[in-house]
Homo-oligomer: A and B are copies of this chain.
Amino acid sequence: MKFCPTCGHPVGFLIPPGDNRPRAVCGHCGTIHYQNPRVVVGCVPEWEGRILLCRRAIEPRRGYWTTPAGFLENGESLQAGAARESLEEACARVEIGSLLSVVNVLHAHQVHVQFRARMLAPEFDSSEESLEVGLFEERDIPWADIAFRSIHFSLQRYIADRSRGDELLHFHDIQESPER
Contacts and interface: CB of A to CB of B under 8 A. Distances in A.
Interface of A: 1-11, 18, 21, 33-39, 71-79, 99, 102, 104, 106-107, 109, 111, 128, 169, 171, 173
Contact of A36 (B2, B38, B107, B128): B38
Given A77-B104, A78-B111, A106-B77, A36 B71 contact: yes
A18 to B, nearest CB: 6
Contacts of A171: 78-79
A166 to B, nearest CB: 14
Contact of A8 (B2, B34, B72, B109): B2
A176 to B, nearest CB: 12
Contact of A99 (B8, B71, B169, B173): B169
Contacts of A9: 8
A75 B5 CA distance: 23
Contacts of A76: 37, 104, 106
Contacts of A37: 39, 72-74, 76
Contacts of A3: 3-8
Given A36-B73, A75-B106, 16 more contacts: A2-B7, A3-B5, A3-B6, A3-B7, A4-B5, A5-B33, A21-B73, A36-B38, A36-B72, A36-B74, A37-B74, A39-B39, A72-B111, A77-B104, A78-B104, A99-B99
